[in-house]
C-alpha cells in the first residue's frame, strides 16, 4: 500500500499550524500584529538591538519577509530600526517602549492559543509532543 494521503503526520502538522495561525491572527487583531510578526518581537525580547540579518537567520526566513514584517511592526510603533554605528550597511532593530509594554499581552495570547490547540492532551503528552516535534525538526533541518 502507498502513502496514506488522508491520514499522515504531515497533514496534521499542517492543519494544526493553519488553525493555530488563524486563532493567533484573530487574537492579535486588536494589537495590529500579524501572526507572523510576533516572533520578531520575541527574539527582540531575548536580545534587543540585533541586525535584520540576524533575525532572518534565526527565524530561517528570507530577508524580504523580515523587512516586510519589521516595516509593519515599525508602522505600529513596536520597534524602530537604525543603521549600526560600526557598519552603516547593517540595520539594527530595537523595541520601543510600546513594544516592551505588550509582552505580557502577547504571552497571554500565545499561552491561551497553545492551550486551546492542545486542550485534549495532558501535561505528559504535551511534553512528549514537543520533544518529538523538536527531534523531527532536527532531522529535517540538518
pLDDT tops 90 at residue 34: no
3-state secondary structure of 76: coil
pLDDT on residue 121: 96
3-state secondary structure of 3: coil
Residue recorded with cell 491572527: 25
Q: State the DSSP string of 118-138.
A: TTTS-HHHHHHHHHHHHHHHH
pLDDT on residue 81: 96
pLDDT tops 80 at residue 35: no
pLDDT tops 80 at residue 127: yes
Q: Where are the domains of the chain?
A: 9-141
Tens digits of residue pLDDT in 59-113: 999 999 999 999 999 999 999 999 988 888 899 999 999 999 999 999 999 999 9
Fold of 9-141: Arc Repressor Mutant, subunit A (1.10.10)
Handedness of CA 45, 46, 48, 52 (dihedral sign): negative
Amino acid at each position: 500500500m502507498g502513502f496514506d494521503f488522508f491520514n499522515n503526520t504531515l497533514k496534521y502538522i499542517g492543519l494544526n499550524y493553519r488553525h493555530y495561525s488563524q486563532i493567533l491572527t484573530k487574537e492579535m487583531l486588536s494589537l495590529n500584529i500579524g501572526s507572523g510578526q510576533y516572533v520578531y518581537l520575541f527574539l527582540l525580547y531575548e536580545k534587543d538591538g540585533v541586525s535584520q540579518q540576524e533575525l532572518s537567520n534565526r527565524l530561517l526566513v528570507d530577508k524580504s519577509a523580515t523587512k516586510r514584517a519589521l516595516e509593519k511592526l515599525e508602522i505600529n510603533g513596536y520597534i524602530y530600526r537604525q543603521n549600526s554605528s560600526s557598519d552603516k550597511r547593517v540595520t539594527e532593530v530595537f523595541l520601543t517602549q510600546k513594544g516592551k509594554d505588550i509582552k505580557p499581552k502577547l504571552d497571554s495570547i500565545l499561552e491561551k492559543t497553545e492551550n486551546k490547540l492542545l486542550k485534549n492532551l495532558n501535561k505528559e503528552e504535551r511534553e512528549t509532543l514537543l520533544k518529538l516535534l523538536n527531534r523531527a525538526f532536527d532531522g529535517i533541518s540538518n
